[in-house]
């Protein structure tokens, strides 16, 4: 049986470094949903960089989460 794919909207997740708390790095993440499924990685990264320029915390990681339904 052949598998069909259905592309769904992607998400952008950004992990922020809030500093040290009790000797451990405290991390907070922000997620932005409903990205176009065909958005390029470079475009998503550029938007993330623009958004994070408005934050007071350092960025640890930028993640693009692709959602695909297998039928």
**3-class DSSP assignment, residue 58:** strand
> What residues does each domain of the chain span?
7-70
Look at residue 69 in the predicted model and tell me its pLDDT: 92
pTM for this model (two decimals): 0.80
In this structure, the number of other CB atoms found within 10 A of the CB of residue 1 comes to: 3
Per-residue confidence (pLDDT) for residue 13, from 0 to 100: 96
Q: Could you state, in chain order, the average pLDDT of each consecutive group of 10 residues for the chain (71 residues)?
A: 90 94 92 90 93 91 92 91
Read off the tokens for 40: 């390029």
The pLDDT of residue 29: 95
Query: 14 φ, ψ to 5°?
Result: -125, 125
């Amino acid at each position: 049986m052949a598998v069909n794919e259905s592309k769904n909207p992607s998400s952008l997740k950004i992990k922020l470094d809030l500093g040290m708390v009790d000797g451990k790095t405290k991390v907070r993440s922000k997620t932005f949903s409903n990205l176009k499924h065909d958005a390029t990685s470079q475009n998503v990264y550029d938007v993330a960089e623009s958004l994070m320029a408005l934050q007071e915390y350092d960025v640890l990681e930028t993640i693009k989460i692709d959602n695909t339904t297998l039928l």
